[in-house]
Amino acid sequence: GAGVSQSPSNKVTEKGKDVELRCDPISGHTALYWYRQSLGQGLEFLIYFQGNSAPDKSGLPSDRFSAERTGGSVSTLTIQRTQQEDSAVYLCASSLYTSGGYTFGSGTRLTVV
Amino acid sequence: DQQVKQNSPSLSVQEGRISILNCDYTNSMFDYFLWYKKYPAEGPTFLISISSIKDKNEDGRFTVFLNKSAKHLSLHIVPSQPGDSAVYFCAAAGANSKLTFGKGITLSVRP
């Protein structure tokens, strides 16, 4: 597609439920990143996929968080047993080169009540 | 431990004047620096970048300056326009290309 697409744009879930957030990167982009922005905070790195390499999961805040990237394209970020502190905007980005600017999606605003 | 710091949370300038947004970093392995602009309810958009082999990069009204010895970069916007009002994020990358972002600064340009 023309840009990075994320769905849903908004998600309200009850504490303890699992959620899945989807990212569809720009076609042909080999690198895919997940970040999140909590209220009043900067962009916090979560996980990075580059081609067929093992993903860099160093930013995942707990083992409740996991992500997959199927076929080198679409990625799903899963949060199990959501907590209120998981409330944030989750941003996905993709890039063609290993250096250079990312293209971000519009994000998924997750609210855990 | 914040590796990229934007110490001022906000900046307000008059239309037509210069906006100077500052950013400091601590990791000497960073060799590529970027600025992103973010409007509410949208994802950040790439604005301008600079490699560590340069000390200045200019694109229209936007200029980024890099002082490697001070581990400091700044974004200059001149002349500032009301449409420039947004949150600006500084970001840095090393060899692994993973971007580390600052907390952002909210720029308000008064008409």
The ranges assigned to domains in chain A are 5-97+104-112
Out of A40, A102, A106, the one facing B99 most closely (by C-beta) is A102
Structure confidence by residue, pLDDT tens digits, B6-64: 999 999 999 999 999 999 999 999 999 999 999 988 999 999 999 999 999 999 999 99
User: In CATH, which of 3.40.50.300, 3.40.640.10, 2.60.40.1120, 2.60.40.10 is domain A5-97+104-112?
Assistant: 2.60.40.10
Question: Looking at the complex, does the CB of residue A93 fall below 8 Å from at least one CB of chain B?
Answer: yes
B111: how many CB neighbours lie within 10 A of its CB?
8
Q: Which pLDDT score is estimated for A100? A: 59
Backbone phi and psi for residue B98, each to the nearest 5 degrees, phi listed first: -70, 125
pLDDT of residue B96: 73
Whether residue B79 has a cis bond before it, omega within 30° of 0: yes
pLDDT in tens, A7-31: 999 999 999 999 999 999 999 888 8
Sequential DSSP letters for A23-83: EE--TT--EEEEEEE-TT--EEEEEEEETTSPPB-TT--STTEEEEEGGGS-EEEEE-S--
Please tell me whether residue A17 adopts helix, strand or coil conformation: coil
Domains and CATH numbers, chain B: 4-110 (2.60.40.10)
A107 contacts chain B (CB < 8 A): yes
User: CA-to-CA distance for A60 and A47, rounded, in angstroms?
Assistant: 6
CB contact under 8 A, A45 and B96: no
Cα–Cα distance for residue pair B24/B11, rounded to 1 Å: 16
Question: CA nearest B100 in A: which residue?
Answer: A45
User: The dihedral of CA A83, A44, A20, A87: what is its sign?
Assistant: positive
Which residue ranges in chain A fall short of pLDDT 70? 1, 97-100
Identify the pLDDT of residue A98.
55
- Beta strands A108-112 and A88-95: pairing type? antiparallel
Q: Residue B17: what pLDDT?
A: 97
DSSP, collapsed to helix, strand or coil, labels residue B82 as helix
* Predicted pLDDT of residue A81: 98
List of residues 6+ apart from A53 with CB closer than 8 A? none
Per-residue model confidence (pLDDT) at position A102:
87
